[in-house]
Structure 1
Amino acid sequence: MCVAADWRRLYWWVVLQWVVGVATSGPCAQRCDCSPKLPLVDCSSQQLSAVPEGVPDATQVLNLTYNHLKTLSSRQFFSLRQLRELDLSANMLTVIEVEAFVGLQNLITLRLSRNRLKIIPVGAFSGLPNVQFLDISENEILVLLDDMFGEMPSLQKLEASENDLVFISNRAFSGLPNLLELRLERCNLTTVPSEAFSRLTGLQHLRFCRLGLTALPNNSFRQLQRLQDLHVSRCPWLHTLAVNSLIGLNLTSLTLSHCNLSAVPYAPLHHLVYLRYLDLSYNPITTVLSGLLGDLLRLQELHLVSTGLLHVESGAFRNLAFFRLLNVSDNRLVTLEESAFHAVGSLEVLRLDGNPLACDCRLLWVMRRRLRLRFAGHAPSCVSPVQVQGRMFQDFAESEVARTFTCRQARILTRKPQDVRSDEGHTVLFFCAADGDPAPSIIWLNPKRSVLTASGRIRVLPNGTLEVRYAQVQDSGYYLCIASNAAGNDSISVSLRVRGFPASSRNRSGSFFLDGWSFASGQTAVNGSQPFPFDVKTLVIAVTMGFLSFLSSVALCFIFMFFWSQSKGQIKHTATIQFVPRSSASTTAGRSTVETGRFTMKLI
């Protein structure tokens, strides 16, 4: 780091000054301590309310910490042209006037932390062409204004953590082409100031921690092409990363810890082919999936500490040929199999401590390499089986490893033949119980040798039983149950024959398809089966429910009409109807004679 190199040069220069006996010129400022041999003036903890007068012009280091300074006036330090470090930390500063530091042409380090600054005006840092390190942390700054640091072209490190920042202007970092490191921690920012970051084209290290972020949107850091180290941590509401949130970056180190990520962000990471260090600790990540980290070809270290990790799938670290350190301590892992790695030959450090490890054949590879593997001072211990519970890995003698770290091959207990003949529409169960050490997993294959899942019409129940609901003719065939664990596999085959109903009797049977219903030939039913049939019970219930709904609607209409009519004033309860009977009409002398009739009807 360039700042560190400059500090070393300053240190040896001061030592040289002491050796040759060069003293500061002039008397020392009142209530300050001036070294007779060194160009250093210490005015700390003197309850000063203003910058003291009489500081020697040749002073190179001025310490004004822990005083009561409230204001820095314009040209406050104009005479101290040799000053290289100025420390104003832990004061009560609320105002820094424009051009307060004019004249400090040789200043390299400026510290303003632990004050009460709410805003720093544009121009306050004028006249500081050589400052490389600026610390404005632990203030009350609300906004970083446009061109705030515009006259500090040599600035390499900016510490702005622990402020009340709610907004960073788009041009706040303009004029900082050489800034290498930026720290923004414990602020009130809820979004990534992407436009402001785009000005920092030379930035290499960014710490973006303890913020109120809820997500990293696409193109959050797109212009930071030289960024090597991105540290985003302690953002408890950060639960998602957009697919292109890290696009444009060529990181070598990435930390996304103490957040709320529920899974490894495989998609946002896949293009980071130069990444060597990845820390996802303290996120609720329970599984590392197989093969999805393979694009991180140069990855050397992965940290997944205290994530609640339950399972690392086989092939999880495939293609990671340079993988040398894995830290999965303080999780809920029962085992970590060798098949998860591309090659364990490159692995140097393995942290497995703090997990409920089962010391069986799955961890035999760790025991065989325990003299070459380093556990970083935290050797793992066994939780099961009972006879080795609590024993550290290094406590096992070589002679007992082979007989202790063993497994018992999976064995299916239900060997009785299961050949079922069933009528169409019935439910069929096939049983497959197994034991072994470790406990075996059970999968079922259908007649087309596709794996069946826990959902659908044909499904695998949690106890390993295969359920075929509403059996169809097309379900007929041989099904295969496979029980497997680390020590081996076992399998059995069962058969199902489903008898369909004749076409002439389908409509009279308990199970039938509605006539006139058809399905597209390209439709794929669940687990390869046909569409669901209908039974009489289901149809009766559906018709009954529909009839009840109809009656309810009619009753509601009558009630509405009754109350509506009541609101329209006086209602006539009788009606008189006049009519002409067809047989009463006659013609007399060319004239028509019509006899009319009348009757009265009572309205209800």
Structure 2
Amino acid sequence: MRPVAWLRWASLLLLVTSAQPCPQGCDCIMWDVFCSEEGLAAVPLDIPLNATSIVFVETSFSTVGTRAFHGSPNLTKVVFLNAQLFHLKPDAFGGLPRLEDLEITGSSFSSLNADIFPEELFHPLASLQTLKLSSNALSGLPEGVFDKLGSLQELFLDNNVISKLPARLFSRLRSLEQLWLQHNAIAHLPRTAFSSLRNLTFLSLQGNALQTLPEDLFAATPSLAALSLSHNRLETVAEGTFANLSRLTSLTLSHNAITHLPADVFRDLKELVRLYLGSNNLTVLHPNLFQNLSNLELLSLSKNLLTTVPEGVFDTNYNLFNVALHGNPWQCDCRLAYLSSWLQQYSDRLFNIQTYCAGPAYLKGQMVPALEQRQLICPVTRDRLGYQAPGLEDWELGSPWDLVAEERVARSRCTFSNPEGTVVLACDEARCRWLSIQLSSRQGSGIPGLAYNASQEWDLKSSCGSIRVTVSLEALAGDA
């Protein structure tokens, strides 16, 4: 820049600066005003006319008067951060036709009632796009307080103590895209709470006290892409709750008390990529629970009460490679063979290095991803009279049959078995001490038994090596 031109520019800047003085107790940088003087008694009357944003940080004045910013029609952003506000006069934000961003956070309002937060307070702000009312100790909201905010796109009501939402609170917010309601005390939601929010893409209800959800709560929010319901008290979710959320990509249900999920609860979530079900009380999964989730990439089942998963449960999840499984009491027997095989084929073993077997005793503490198929066997025992113990379809975890088998195997150094798990031989360093043979399953199974006066061989394997077992069956003549 030429010296003469630079001098002209500097002179013009000085002229503008002198014509637009900064209010006392504030700092001005270009078109931004920052006020952090604790002694500031009220909203300054001499805000520069060309200012587009003003921020109050930890100021001590408690009231915003009527049309407090009327001399600053160019403001697009007003922020009160940790200010000691207790009262806002009616039409406090009148005269701000261009305001797009209003933030009032960290104050100590008890509620948005007529004395503190007049219902018409935000009515002049037709251009407002973002409203932040976080961390204000708000306990209630008047039903019509947002009625005139037709351009609002983001609404933050998080970290308050709101316990109830009026049914029509959001009914006029047809442009709303993001709604933050996390960390409140909401125990019940009206079925029409979100019925006007067709453009809503993000909703957080995390950290409330919800025990149930109305089945059609999300019926009118087809654009929803991310939904968080974590850290509530949900015990189940009705089958049709997510029926209209065909664009949902992220669903968080972790940290609830969910014990059961209906087979078709996720049926319509064809675009779902991330599903978080960790830290619940799930004991079983329906075989078709994830059937239509062909785009699923991440699934968290950690910290539940799962002992196994149904065979084929992930067969239609073609993009699923990360499944969090730690913190479950996995029973590493033949019923876990499907999960073990799936993990070895499709999942990164490092993703579940803290996923351990809770039983049987001889595998307790072993990492599930490191298991080999031959280790996953179901012991077969016989009672003292020689009758066959319950088969797999009868076996209940923790039953006497199971406990006896586990105790015997736990005392053995090596456990050999055939691939089917029907022949199990337990040996210590000196000798083999326990042999279990299931010659046939239940009647009509199609599996032949061992004929009288015949023998049969089995090749058994374990981590100790291989061994061959031969059994001969000889019928003895009875006494006359």
Q: Tell me the TM-score normalized by structure 2.
A: 0.71
Distance between the aligned counterparts of 2:53 and 2:395, measured in 1? 72
What is the match of residue 255 of structure 1?
A: 252
User: What is residue 12 of structure 1 aligned with on the other side?
Assistant: none
1:353 aligns with 2:301: no
1:48 and 2:40 are equivalent in the alignment? yes
Report how many aligned residue pairs link the two structures.
395
Q: What aligned pairs does 1:295-306 form with structure 2 within 5 A after superposition?
A: 295-306=292-303
Equivalent residues in 2 for 1:240-279 (5 A)? 240-250=236-246, 251-279=248-276
Distance 1:87 1:385 in 2: 59
1:209 aligns with 2:206: yes
Answer with 1 or 2: which has the greater Rg: 1
Q: Which residue number corresponds to residue 22 of structure 2?
A: 28
Where does residue 82 of structure 1 map in the other structure? 74
What do residues 244-283 of structure 1 show as CA deviations (whole Å, max 9, x unaligned)?
Answer: 2233222221101111001345332223222221101111
Alignment of 1:177-216 (within 5 A): 177-216=174-213
Contact 1:166/1:189 (CA < 8 Å) preserved in 2? yes
Cα distance in 2 for partners of 1:103, 1:409 equals: 77
> Is the contact made by 1:143 and 1:167 (CA closer than 8 Å) also made in structure 2?
yes
Per the alignment, residue 216 of structure 2 pairs with 219
CA-atom RMSD in angstroms: 3.9
Q: How does 1:579-594 map to 2 (within 5 A)?
A: none
Compute the displacement of 1:99 (Å): 2.0
> Per the alignment, in what secondary structure is the counterpart of residue 198 of structure 1?
coil
Equivalent residue of 1:225, what SS?
coil
Cα deviation digits, residues 359-404 of structure 1 (max 9, x gap): 99xxxxxxxxxxxxxxxxxxxxxx9769xx88998xxxxxxx99x8
**Deviation string, structure 1 residues 293-333 (Cα, Å, up to 9, x no partner):** 21223222101222243222322212111212211233333
State how far apart, in whole Å, the 2-side matches of 1:64 and 1:259 are.
39
Shift of 1:134: 1.0
SS in 1 for 2:204: strand
Q: What is the identity, as a one-letter code, of the residue corresponding to 1:61? A: S
**Alpha-carbon spacing, 1:462–1:89, altered in 2? closer, same or farther (3 Å):** same
| Equivalent residue letter for 1:356 | Y
Measured at CA, do residues 72 and 412 of structure 1 come closer, stay the same or move farther in structure 2, by a change above 3 Å? closer
SS of 2:203's equivalent? strand
Deviation at 1:88, TM superposition (A): 0.7
In structure 1, the residue matched to 2:413 is: none
Residue 235 of structure 2 is aligned to residue 239 of structure 1: yes
Alignment deviations for residues 46-84 of structure 1 (CA, whole Å, 9 cap, x no partner)? 242311232211112211121123222221111212222
Structure 1 residue 140: Cα displacement? 3.1
The 1:228–1:269 alpha-carbon spacing in structure 2 relative to 1, beyond 3 Å, is same
Q: Please report how far the alpha carbon of residue 159 of structure 1 lies from its aligned counterpart in structure 2 after TM superposition.
A: 0.5
In structure 2, the residue matched to 1:431 is 387
Q: State the distance in 1 between where 2:216 and 2:417 align.
A: 44
8 A contact 1:126–1:152 mirrored in 2: yes
CA-to-partner distance for each residue in 1:136-159, whole Å, 9 max, x for gaps? 111233332233222222211111
Residue 113 of structure 1 is matched in structure 2 by 105
CA distance in 1, matches of 2:287, 2:28: 65
Give the Cα–Cα distance (whole angstroms) in 2 for the partners of residues 30 and 273 of structure 1.
Answer: 58
Please list the CA deviations of residues 198-236 of structure 1 after superposition, one character each: whole Å capped at 9, or x if unmatched: 12121111000222211123212211111111100111x
How far residue 181 of structure 1 moved from its aligned partner, in angstroms, is: 0.6
**d(CA) in 2 for partners of 1:21, 1:80:** 20
How far the C-alpha of 1:406 sits from its partner, in A, is: 5.3
Query: CA contact under 8 A between 1:315 and 1:341: conserved in structure 2?
Result: no
Q: What are the within-5 Å matches in structure 2 for residues 276-315 of structure 1?
A: 276-315=273-312
2:105 partner SS? coil
1:443 corresponding residue in structure 2: 391
| Structure holding more strand per residue | 1
CA shift in 2, pair 1:414/1:96, >3 Å: closer
Asked which structure has the greater RCO (Cα within 8 Å, sep 6+), the reply is 2
Q: Which one-letter code corresponds to 2:375 in the other structure?
A: C
The one of 58, 76, 85 equivalent to 2:50 is 58
Partners of 1:410 and 1:172 lie apart in 2 by: 57
> Pick from 492, 496, 504: which aligns with 2:439?
492
The question of whether the paired residues in 1 share the 8 Å contact of 2:33 and 2:54 is answered with: yes
Partners in 1 of 2:77 and 2:442 — Cα distance? 86
* 1:145-194 C-alpha deviation (Å, 9 max, x unpaired): 23322222221111101223233222221332211110112223211133
Offset, 1:242: 2.1
Contact 1:216 1:240 in 2 (8 A): no
Contact 2:193/2:217 (8 A) holds in 1: no
SS at match of 1:182: strand
Match for 2:125: what amino acid?
Answer: L
- Provide the C-alpha distance between the structure 1 equivalents of 2:363 and 2:299, rounded to a whole number of angstroms: 29
Question: 2:442 & 2:274 partners in 1: Cα distance?
Answer: 52
SS in 2 for 1:33: strand
Question: Is residue 277–residue 301 contact of structure 1 (8 Å, CA) maintained in 2?
Answer: yes
Corresponding letter in the other structure for 1:431: Y
Distance 1:116 1:308, change over 3 A: same
- What is the rounded CA distance, in whole Å, between the counterparts of 1:98 and 1:485 in structure 2? 81
Partner residue in 1 for 2:96:
104
One-letter identity of the residue aligned with 2:260? A
Letter in 2 for 1:76: A
Alignment TM-score, normalising by the size of structure 1: 0.58
Kindly state the Cα deviation for residue 238 of structure 1 after the two structures are TM-superposed: 1.8
**Which of 136, 140, 143 lines up with 2:140 in the alignment?**
143
Residues 320-357 of structure 1: CA deviation (Å, up to 9, x unaligned): 11212211233333556455777976545762133324
In structure 2, C-alpha distance between the alignment counterparts of 1:76 and 1:293, rounded to whole Å: 56
Contact 2:280/2:304 (8 A) holds in 1:
yes
User: Per the alignment, in what secondary structure is the counterpart of residue 265 of structure 2?
Assistant: helix
Alignment match of 2:375 (pick from 407, 410, 415): 407
Q: Point out the more displaced range, 348-357 or 161-170.
A: 348-357
Aligned with 1:463: secondary structure? helix
- SS of equivalent to 2:193: helix
Match of 1:226, SS state, is: coil
**Structure 1's 94 and 105: CA in aligned 2 closer, same or farther, altered over 3 A?**
same
SS in structure 1 at match of 2:264: helix
Equivalent residue for 1:39, pick from 31, 55, 77: 31
Q: What CA distance in whole angstroms lies between the structure 2 residues aligned with 1:78 and 1:414?
A: 90
The verdict on how the C-alpha distance between 1:131 and 1:189 changes in structure 2, with shifts beyond 3 A counting, is same
Q: Which residue is equivalent to 1:370?
A: none
Check the 8 A contact 1:131/1:155 in 2, yes or no: yes
SS of the aligned residue for 1:269 comes to: coil
d(CA) in 2 for partners of 1:263, 1:165: 29
DSSP-derived class of the 1:351 partner: helix
Give the number of the structure whose residues are more often helix, by fraction: 1
Per the alignment, in what secondary structure is the counterpart of residue 297 of structure 1? coil
